[in-house]
Structure 1
Amino acid sequence: MTKIQCLVVDDERLALEVMEANIERVPFLHLAQLCATPMQALDFLSRNSVDVLFLDIEMPGLNGLQFLQTLKNPPLVILTTAYPQFAVDAFELNVVDYLLKPIPFNRFLAAVQKVQAQWSETRLRKDGPNEAKPLDGHIFIKSGSKTVRIDLQEILFIEGKKEYIMIHTRQSQITTQASLSSLMEKLPANQFVRIHRSFIIALAKIESIERNRVLIDKTEIPIGEFYREDLLKRIS
């Protein structure tokens, strides 16, 4: 799964640590860099690209709003501040969200889900209609002493166990010593979705969704509360 690349700019060390911890909790985010000053961020952006910028406002020298106005092609922006009075100015700069410190995790999650929706729409426009083609690829998985080819269209769902994962198809169950996160990176993001800390499913194989479970090939698979909103967006 391609992850959203995040840059955090804040002059408070504790605030940086909180944002780092929050980003690590969200499966579709990846922390690209922490910066303590806007100038450090400018230097990083001159050599790297990111998808979303978490930006504090009140910083010595150059504040966050001034810094944002210097960027010719800014990424998606979420402002983080202890001062509500900047909200009007912030939204005039087309920021995605405005988070007031201390930031509760549920509020952080709501903001990054907005980012995910906008980021996904942008990628879809860039990739064009071919992104939604039926599965015709495959992956190779090491299972015991063998390396097994698995056609993507055969996968129903993938289940994470304590020390291994199990790939379920209609014909067989293949086990391999890997993590769900590492396998998710090999799968097309438009065809597979993680719906629980222990399950990845093939969207095309969903038979029905009821309350907190998905039915695939007569198997009931739980939907984790953390993953529910992403699943509903993907099928809408």
Structure 2
Amino acid sequence: MRCIAIDDETLALKLLEDNISQVPYLELTGSFHNPVKAMAFVHSDKPDLIFIDIEMPGMTGLDFIRSLPYQPMVILVTAYERFALDGFSLNVIDYLLKPVELSRFFQACNKAKNLHELQNRSEEKDQHIFVNSDYSQVKVELDDITWIESLKEYVRINLRSSNKPVVSRMTMKSLEDLLPASNFIRIHKSYLVSKKAITAVKKNSLFLGTLELPVSDTYRDTLQSFVNRLS
């Protein structure tokens, strides 16, 4: 599972990173002292699990959870017991009190792992989406999508099985929210691609076979993080 850690205290963040490194099924893709910077990363990377402190300058952990653009799993790690009810009202996976014993940390991570596996089994049953196109609802298999282009109020979905793309009147953000982050990655405000279709990556572009698409500065770190995980 891809995860990030957020804590404004350097020592606490280091301890959290060390604990995460001992859990074999966790992959730390980002570590942040500043929750505002972490929020920008979450928007592009969409981690499966977030470990976060509560009392932080600029934005509390609870405000961070309320501001999330989607619903990842969250484990709160804090020195304050009084926020437990607030945390669980936001559907956090677990609430860990500092200093956290490793056995208790593993217990919380196992909860997240079990939920993640359950969610994945549910997603596997639904490997397609329906989009409005040509005055009808068209079924599009996720594995058939190679890349998607934004055309202002429309999106053009390019398919492996056909030279004719599916054009639908919707925003790129709306379509991105329908697609699993495990299968697709945003590389530009105008382009979203299937991870399976990527054949090569350069500094400012990537290739889908012979097709070259630009990679913008906004999404370069996210793409590089994905490539590094495959190395």
| Distance in 1, Cα, partners of 2:44 & 2:103 | 32
| Distance in 2, Cα, partners of 1:83 & 1:96 | 17
Q: Deviations over 1:64-120 (max 9, x none)?
A: 101111113131000000000000111000000000000110000000000000000
Tell me the TM-score normalised to structure 2 length: 0.53
Q: Which residue of 2 aligns with 1:119?
A: 116
| Distance in 2, Cα, partners of 1:51 & 1:89 | 21
Q: Which residue of 1 aligns with 2:89?
A: 92
User: Is the counterpart of residue 15 in structure 1 residue 12 in structure 2?
Assistant: yes
- 2:7, 2:56 within 8 Å by CA — same for their partners in 1? yes
Q: Deviations over 1:28-47 (max 9, x none)?
A: 11101001111111111122
| Distance in 2, Cα, partners of 1:57 & 1:17 | 16
Of residues 17, 21, 27, the one that matches 1:24 is 21
User: Is the counterpart of residue 79 in structure 1 residue 85 in structure 2?
Assistant: no
1:1-236 equivalent positions in 2, closer than 5 A = 4-128=1-125
Q: Which residue of 2 aligns with 1:212?
A: none
| Distance in 2, Cα, partners of 1:110 & 1:117 | 11
The one-letter code of the counterpart of 1:29 is: L
Q: Deviations over 1:1-38 (max 9, x none)?
A: xxx00111100111111111111111111101001111
| Distance in 1, Cα, partners of 2:21 & 2:102 | 12
* Alignment CA distance shift 1:69-1:129 (3 Å): closer
Question: RMSD across aligned C-alpha pairs, in angstroms?
Answer: 1.4
**More displaced stretch, 96-105 vs 46-55:** 46-55
- 2:43, 2:69 within 8 Å by CA — same for their partners in 1? no
The one-letter code of the counterpart of 1:58 is: E
| Distance in 1, Cα, partners of 2:126 & 2:66 | 34
Q: Deviations over 1:166-185 (max 9, x none)?
A: xxxxxxxxxxxxxxxxxxxx
Shift of 1:129: 9.5
* Alignment CA distance shift 1:116-1:61 (3 Å): same
Shift of 1:50: 0.4
| Distance in 1, Cα, partners of 2:38 & 2:126 | 35
The one-letter code of the counterpart of 1:85 is: R
Secondary structure at 2:100 match in 1: coil
Extract unaligned runs of 5+ from structure 1.
131-236
Extract unaligned runs of 5+ from structure 2.
128-231
**Taking every aligned residue pair, what percent have the same amino acid on both sides?**
42
Runs of 4 or more consecutive aligned structure 1 residues displaced over 3 Å after TM superposition: none
The one-letter code of the counterpart of 1:40 is: K
Q: Which residue of 2 aligns with 1:141?
A: none
